[in-house]
Amino acid sequence: MHTVKSISKNRDSVVELLAIRDFNAAAIVDEIIAVDTEKREVQTRMETLRASINSLSKEIGILFKQGKRAEADAAKEKTGKIKEEVKDFSSKLADLEKRLSHLLVQLPNIPHESVPPGKGAEDNIEIRSGGETGKLSKDALPHWELARKYDIIDFELGNKITGSGFPLYKGKGALIQRAMISFFLDEAIRAGYTEYAPPLMVNEESGFGTGQLPDKEGQMYHVTEDNLYLIPTAEVPLTNIFRGDILSSSDLPLKITGYTPCFRREAGSYGKDVRGLNRLHQFDKVEIVQVQHPDRSYEALEEMTSYIETLVKKLELPYRIMLLCGGDMGFAAAKTYDFEVFASAQEKWLEVSSVSNFTSFQSNRLKLRFRDEATKNTLTAHTLNGSALALPRILAAILENNQTPEGIKVPEVLIPYTGFEMIG
RNA sequence: GGAGAGGUGGCCGAGCGGUCUAAGGCGCACGCCUGGAAAGCGUGUAUACCUCAAAAGGGUAUCGCGGGUUCGAAUCCCGCCUUCUCCGCCA
């Protein structure tokens, strides 16, 4: 969410930069400016009237104390009419504020100037890659068949217990998941992140704070009885830790991490890439989050990207890093890198991480600020987050890429965590 | 889930219909004092928005959150959230 102030001040550049997203903002921006002008006018008039009621009330109090009943009653009469007017203005003001916030939530974040323009995935730019996407033999199996062969993931049982998209991990399948969680958390801690284990359900305010509500309401599981949402990513509870806070600049950067299951309805995505572990309703993920000084958030984005790159390298997976084009970025992001690993049997790139700078977009919603010690000004902080990493697609790639006639080779770095070197 | 008691500034804590413009204390910042420090003394110490070219100044709102009563609400009424105590249930 943007502030009206920054939109009014930078009207033309806002419209220009949002075009990178293939988003025509001119009409909305102009309406925001018009509604805000009217709002301020109404607000000023209402507050002036309210001030006169306040001072009259004070006088009435004094008159009563002095025992001047008649004069007090006369003053009371006067306030009646003013009160009516205030009522009119305040309902008008409430209407205008509603219109304004309705308009504001329609504007996606403004892309960084380095974001390439474009409409969809085809316009993303590969900026780095690593590892060998070596060829497998003809009889190489996709991970869902390997999972059945070695009896480590049971999709049918998950289906029976819950439904499609809820796999059941067994034996070494469950163990390697737990190994990855520990490995990713240990790495994050070593990189300076503090571990949190947050709630898995969040309230409406938290959903709004990070931008899932109101736009992506249908993507979250909603427990209507208690009006709580199952988290689609740890980003939501982890970032909302700081909702409403005014930090000190010496607190920054805040670097936190957490493992959580993630729940996504994935409404409307049936039939596409849903085989096996490719797209699930429940999956595990370790997330990293930073709260940063605005001057350093893009530096931090690069740092987080490099960090995630070390993870995929340590797992010895062939990967590529994509700079998302404007049209493929999420609503709240100003710049996003996606990490994809190559699953050799499917011969498909699977997205395993998305790391984004949200600049002040989430902070404005969260009212997350910090006091700059040098200038004593209160400024809006920047938030960033990234998956480090999402487990199922990593597992899919490991299974497919590391298959041998003897079984699946566990990546070196995970062996201390799994206690075994082979699945098979 | 039931009953009772609470939620006041960075923190503690008073106030329970009219200078509340929220007492007092602690903390913090600055100044005085000092060779330096402590103590002491003094001054200051929230957030958002509006107004103003800007600053100064002025205004509005905020005492858990949302409504209501009243000329006037931290204070009275209603709903919700939350904390504590007791009971019930429970991994």
Domains in chain A with CATH codes: 4-104 (1.10.287.40), 121-423 (3.30.930.10)
Residue owning tokens 């409404």: A267
A98-153 per-position pLDDT tens digit: 899 899 999 999 999 999 999 999 999 999 999 988 777 778 899 999 999 999 99
Residues of chain A with pLDDT > 90: what percent? Answer: 73
CA distances from A180 to A83, A165, A175, A368 (A): 64, 20, 9, 32
Catalytic amino acids of A? 264, 279, 351, 354, 393
Q: Which nucleotides of B are covered by protein (CB under 7 A)?
A: 18-19, 47-51, 59-61, 71-72
- Residue ranges for chain A with pLDDT beneath 50: none
Which residues, other chains included, contact A56 with Cβ-Cβ below 8 Å and sequence gap of 6+? Answer: A75, A78, A79, A82
Ranges assigned E (strand) in A219-377: 222-223, 228-230, 246-248, 254-263, 282-292, 319-323, 335-343, 348-357, 369-371
CA distances from A62 to A53, A59, A115 (A): 14, 5, 64
Q: A278, A350 in Cβ contact below 8 A?
A: yes
Q: According to the model, what pLDDT value does residue A257 have?
A: 97
Nucleotide nearest to A63 (CA to C1'): B18
Q: According to the model, what pLDDT value does residue A73 have?
A: 79
Residue owning tokens 């008649």: A70
d(CA A54, CA A58): 6
CA distances from A26 to A11, A13, A14, A36 (A): 8, 10, 9, 15
Q: According to the model, what pLDDT value does residue A214 have?
A: 83
- List strand B contacts in A 218-277 (CB < 7 A): 246
ipTM surpasses 0.90: no
Statement: the CB of A127 is under 7 Å from strand B: no
Q: A116, A125 in Cβ contact below 8 A?
A: yes
Annotate A175-234 with DSSP letters as a single string. HHHHHHHHHHHHHHHHTTPEEE---SEE-HHHHHHTT-TTTTGGGS-EETTTTEEE-SST
CA distances from A127 to A107, A304, A321, A336, A340 (A): 28, 15, 6, 12, 12
**How many CB atoms neighbour CB A132 within 10 A?**
10
Q: According to the model, what pLDDT value does residue A223 have?
A: 87
Q: According to the model, what pLDDT value does residue A181 have?
A: 98
Statement: the CB of A371 is under 7 Å from strand B: yes
Q: According to the model, what pLDDT value does residue A135 have?
A: 73
pTM value surpassing 0.90: yes
Q: According to the model, what pLDDT value does residue A1 have?
A: 86
d(CA A320, CA A309): 9
Statement: the CB of A60 is under 7 Å from strand B: yes
Gap from A98 CA to B50 C1', in Å? 18
- List strand B contacts in A 63-92 (CB < 7 A): 64-65, 76, 79-80, 83
